[in-house]
Amino acid sequence: MSDDLQAIIKRLHLYGSKLVKNLCPRPSDPHGLARAEAVWKRFRRTVIDAGAKLADFPEPVVYWLQELGQLVSQLDQLVRGERIDSVVGRFDFALFESLIAEGEQLLAIYAPRSAGPFAAFFGPLPTTLTTNTTATETQPDAGERPGADDPFADLRRFARAQLKGQERTLIEALCDAGGELPLADVKAMFDWQDPIESAWNSLRIRLNKKLEPHGWKVKTQGRAARLTRPDTE
């Protein structure tokens, strides 16, 4: 199966899941809607680009992309001149959520090595998002309720309190994936273009300056990003 197909499925599942999450942010998260706007633009662009390549994809993916394309067109019309959160009640989010969940199944078929980390990163899709959902009804992410046996509990708390942007996103993704993610997944997560070495090394170095005083480090191992404890290496 082509790398292009795997990348498209991963990106759409990634962006779609983040869009669902950020359209109903917690009251304590003042930046959720801004992230939703940014993710929507990436999601829309990816769907449009994929629509030009339908002849190259297997039938189940073609149907999935066509349905996503119809919803993108619908939402595109609604958000012109309006904030994206203001149109939730006029958009078929139940169908959108089901299509994003279907993307999880397609990941398992066409990119099986990536399905696990992405599923761990997002957890189950929120089930409270309906046309009448309010921000206070949104449940916190599974990753924000670390159990007593979570080896990354202290790192999660540090990330929520001290990190933001790509730094926080990467650390939370690594924690949720058990401490290691393929660099291909990191690339898709941030929509990086090849070659990614400069962007990856810049992010890793910035992070390690903040992590090492707290006993953690992000390193490159093969073609993966990995969390380590410097004092145990």
Residue 218 identity: V
Q: Could you give all domains of the chain from N- to C-terminal order, each with its CATH number?
A: 3-139 (no CATH), 143-232 (1.10.10)
Question: Quick one: tokens of 24?
Answer: 């109903």
**Model pTM score:** 0.49
**What mean pLDDT comes out for the span 186-193?**
79
In what order do the strands lie in the sheet containing 224-228? 180-182, 224-228, 217-221
In the predicted structure, residue 200 carries a pLDDT above the cut 50 = yes
Look at residue 180 and give its three-state secondary structure.
strand
- The residue-averaged pLDDT of 99-111 equals 80
pLDDT of 217? 92
Q: Inform me whether the pLDDT recorded for 121 exceeds 60.
A: no
Instruction: Give the tokens for residue 12.
Output: 């759409």
Q: State the average pLDDT over residues 82-93.
A: 73
Q: Provide the pLDDT confidence category of residue 232 given band limits of 50, 70 and 90.
A: low
* pLDDT > 70 fraction of the chain, expressed in percent and rounded: 74
Helices (H), 52-177: 59-79, 93-110, 112-122, 153-162, 165-176
Helix (H, G, I), strand (E, B) or coil at 218: strand
Is 141's pLDDT higher than 50?
no
In this predicted structure, what is the pLDDT of residue 40? 81
What mean pLDDT value characterizes the chain? 74
pLDDT of residue 133: 35
Task: Read off the pLDDT of residues 6-48 as tens digits, 9 standing for 90 and up.
Answer: 778 887 888 888 777 777 666 566 666 677 777 787 788 888 8
Average pLDDT over residues 42-62: 84
Higher-scoring residue by pLDDT: 205, 15: 205
d(CA 119, CA 104): 7
CA–CA dist 93, 74 (Å, integer): 11
CA distance 197 to 25: 33
